[in-house]
Amino acid sequence: MADAAQGAIENDAVPLDAAPLDAAASQKISRRKLIIVLAAATLLLAAVSGAAWMFLRASPADVPDEDELKPAQSTSTPKAGRGARKSARRGQPSVFMKLETFTVNLQSDAGDRFLQTTIVFELSDDEVAEKIKAQMPVIRSRLLLLLSSRKPQDLITLQGKDKLAEDIIGEARKHFNAKPPEHELLEVHFNSFVIQ
């Protein structure tokens, strides 16, 4: 019996020279894992860098500053519901007024989501621009509240963005000193619109 037990022990025993081979194989596997992890990290870094470049490459020089009001011909096609404002002033140059960029948290159950947008008002003339500038702190505050009350899924569609533009027009018109005619604040345009 002792011989049988001794034979079983010898069969289960690992030769002394086999242990270094297992350590070498283990090191090769560790190196492969390290190479795979480094390659994945490099790809992730490249993807994040590309996304950041796309996000930051938008040039704010596309629209004049708030202080620079630039007359220009409106070439946009009237949209449904907005045709009355456009037809009342056809053939007259528009004035564009760029507001500061808005960044707000959106109402979301799926975690933190935010909207970053630059709004441009299309106005009938310079006089309207002066009226808006006089009320800008109040208008900006109301627009921040309006934007932060939206849900991301409501802003993804074109109809959602059009509805937001209509609501912005309504909110901005509330704060004129005197009730403006319908055709003074013509349109709201989004120079940038990013939801994350």
Does the structure show a pLDDT above 70 at 141?
yes
Does the structure show a pLDDT above 60 at 73?
no
| Cβ atoms of 196 and 113 closer than 8 Å | yes
Rounded to 10 degrees, the C-alpha dihedral 164/170/174/177 comes to 110
- The more confidently predicted of residues 179 and 98 is 98
16 pLDDT band, cuts 50/70/90, is low
Q: What is the pTM of this model?
A: 0.52
| Cβ atoms of 110 and 87 closer than 8 Å | no
The per-residue pLDDT for 181 is 55
119 pLDDT band, cuts 50/70/90, is very high
Q: Which two tokens stand for residue 157?
A: 């569609």
Rounded to 10 degrees, the C-alpha dihedral 167/106/115/122 comes to 10
Q: DSSP secondary-structure letter at 181?
A: P
Does the structure show a pLDDT above 70 at 125?
yes
Closest alpha carbon to 66 in 194, 196, 195, 191: 191
The per-residue pLDDT for 21 is 55
127 pLDDT band, cuts 50/70/90, is confident
Average pLDDT score over the chain = 74
Does the structure show a pLDDT above 50 at 180?
yes
The per-residue pLDDT for 20 is 55
Over residues 49-63, mean pLDDT: 61
The per-residue pLDDT for 167 is 93
Does the structure show a pLDDT above 60 at 108?
yes
Closest alpha carbon to 146 in 163, 162, 165, 168: 168
The per-residue pLDDT for 13 is 52
